[in-house]
Amino acid sequence: MKVIKQSIRDRDMETIMGKVLRFGVLASVTIVTIGGIVYLVQHGSQKPYYQQFVGEPRRFREIQKIMQTALQGRGRSVIQLGLLVLMATPLARIAFSIIGYILEKDFLYVVITLIVFSVIILSL
């Protein structure tokens, strides 16, 4: 009986996760596309250079700078913002799992999920 109950809750969680993932991907692609159009209108005739690594400027590297410059409507910053949304999607999924495991009182998995979450946050 316990096993069945757990499996029903798992299914609910899975449905929510599926929705989170789909919404995140859709939002991200929309933002990236808008940023891409702005970028191409502004810089479409320039010649991009990728042969040698020079590194991106700060406004493409740091989360705060990306948000700041994206809000100013700068095309490539908006693209980076879309990529940040994409990267946040799996993170949101993990955050939902933590809540789910707390509700299920499965503390072993609360700990496991928290560790995975912290590892990713620390890398950002």
Partner 1 sequence: MTALLFTLILLGVSTIAGLLGSLTGLGGGVVLIPVLTLIFKVDIHYAIGTSLISVIATSSGAAAAYVKEGISNIRLGMFLELATTIGAISGAFLATYIPTSTIAIIFGVILILSAVMSLIKHSDHLVTGRGGYLARKLKLNNRYPTQDGEQQYTVKNIVGGFLMMNVAGIISGLLGIGSGALKVIAMDHIMQVPFKVSTTTSNFMIGVTAVASAGIYLKRGYIDPGLSMPVVIGVLVGAIVGSKILFAARTKALKIIFAIVILILSMEMMYNGLTHKV
Residue carrying structure tokens 């879309």? 82
CB closer to partner 1 out of 67 and 109? 109
> Which spans in 1-124 are helix H?
2-43, 58-61, 63-71, 75-104, 107-123
- Alpha-carbon Rg for the chain, nearest whole angstrom, is 19
The HSE-up count of residue 40 (CA atoms within 13 Å, CB side) is 6
**What are the φ and ψ backbone dihedral angles of 53, each rounded to 5 degrees?**
-75, 120
CB nearer to partner 1: give 1 or 50: 50
**Interacting residues with partner 1 between 75 and 104 (CB under 8 A):** 75-77, 79-80, 82-83, 86-87, 89-91, 93-94, 97
**Per CB under 8 A, 48 contacts partner 1:** yes
Task: Decide: is 17 part of the binding site for partner 1 (CB under 8 A).
Answer: yes
Could you tell me the smallest distance in angstroms from the CB atom of residue 72 to partner 1? 15
Q: Cβ 102 to partner 1, closest distance in Å?
A: 14
5 binds partner 1 (CB under 8 A): no
Three-state SS at 92: helix
Cβ at position 4, least distance to partner 1 in Å: 10
